[in-house]
Amino acid sequence: MYFIYDDHFLKHDNGISHPENPERLKYIKRAADSLEYRGLIEYISPGPAGKKQIEMVHDSSYINRVEELSARGGLSFLDMDTGVSRHTYSCALLAAGGCMDGLDLIFSENSRYKKFFLACRPPGHHAFPAGGSGFCIFNNAALGAKYALEHYGLKRIVIVDLDAHHGNGTQDIFYEDSRVFYISFHQYPHYPGTGAADERGSGKGKGFNLNLPFAPGTGEPDYLAALIEIVIPLLDDYRPELVMVSAGYDSHVSDSMSSLELAEDSYRRIMASLSHISRKYCRERMAIVLEGGYEYRSTADSTVSTVMGCLEDNSFKSASDLEKYFGIDDSGKGRVKNRTLLDRTAKELGLKQ
């Protein structure tokens, strides 16, 4: 698996005591080194995206503003949480470029691997066309999706967002676009306040936006139930040509930025499920982009679990196969906290009588 990283990402500075800081990536890099030692990943250093490529998603006036604020030096803020400092613009270009480089790698006919993990800063899923927010500058996953649509002629991409916070920027960008199916697992109510279950897309994108707004205290049983009962059946119908994942690890039980209760191994199970879809419809191609995750050790360990889940050799044919593989029994099903939400959503989508 390709692991895209560069030390330059450490130079983005949000200010003293900010939760989105270089230590996050330092811990991830140390954990990834163990994967490289075992021959499970290959490090790739990315190149920056060009301004015209960033304009696939973002307004030129906004791009110019970030560039100007970075050139000014010091520390400025796009909102109360989102800093711009001397190296922010170059780091943001490198993060977006890393996603595009990863796609070029996995779409190459001579590619060694068909999956990549992009360990980057700043994150992206709260970034809108006209502005950044929630620690995010440019929307890396959205830019990657746009690049794949335009450069490789894809017609169907799914972005699965695992961050504890709803990816309001990504949803906004593709809300009227059926070519990108955006699916978000997140805590609700919570920052940024969007992501209700009835936000399903509009126009040509109607039916291609799915929010799974989970109550505080939600853990792995709900994620697996949602995947088995809703997400995988929907994707079997959609038949995506590329699976993208916004990998946020602030859903971990140890992370103070949410009240969700995933464990490290939860991400392995989730990624094994999504890898099944990539294997079935995408020639195994999968693009994973780092978003949140602010407790350093659990974020690093969950990154390792993500990679391991992608590498599992499994072949599922049905929901019952998934249940058997993960050892889900009646007691596990009984621990689903958001059963009313899942049943209502499945019924509304025609997946359950």
Question: How much is the pLDDT for 333?
Answer: 76
State the Cα–Cα distance between residues 158 and 225, nearest whole angstrom: 19
Q: Report, as ranges of residue numbers, the positions in the chain whose pLDDT lies below 50.
A: none
Give burial (CB, 10 Å; 0-12/13-18/19+) of 225: buried
Query: What is the number of other CB atoms lying within 10 angstroms of the CB of residue 346?
Result: 18
Supply the pLDDT for residue 334: 82
CATH classification at residue 60? 3.40.800.20
Residue 15 is which amino acid? Answer: G
Determine, yes or no, domain membership for 117: yes
CA atoms within 13 Å, Cβ hemisphere of 134: 25
User: Given phi > 0 = left and psi -120 to 50 = alpha, else beta, which region is 256?
Assistant: alpha
Q: What is the pLDDT of residue 247?
A: 98
Q: How far apart are CA 296 and CA 118, in angstroms?
A: 17
pLDDT at 322: 81
Q: Which domain holds residue 338?
A: 2-348
- Number of domains present in the structure of the chain: 1
Give me the catalytic one of 58, 125, 126, 166.
126
**Residue 227 is assigned to a structural domain of this protein:** yes
252 part of the active site: no
User: For residues 10 and 248, what is the distance between their CA atoms, to the nearest angstrom?
Assistant: 18
User: CA–CA separation, 103 vs 141, rounded Å?
Assistant: 11
Distance of CA 277 to the CA centre of its chain: 16
Alpha-carbon torsion, ordered 120, 121, 124, 128, to 10 deg: -140
Give the model confidence (pLDDT) of 35-69 as tens digits.
Answer: 999 999 999 999 999 999 999 999 999 999 999 99
- Predicted confidence at residue 332, as pLDDT, reads 73
pLDDT for position 51: 98
β-pair partners for 75: 85
Question: Do 180 and 145 contact (CB within 8 A), yes or no?
Answer: yes
Q: Is 76 left (phi over 0), alpha (psi -120 to 50) or beta?
A: beta
Distance CA 67, CA 63 (A): 6
Cα–Cα distance for residue pair 238/232, rounded to 1 Å: 10
Q: In the beta sheet, which residues pair with residue 118?
A: 4, 289
In a domain, 353, yes or no: no
pLDDT of residue 2: 98
Q: How far apart are CA 340 and CA 193, in angstroms?
A: 21
Residue 52 lies in a domain: yes
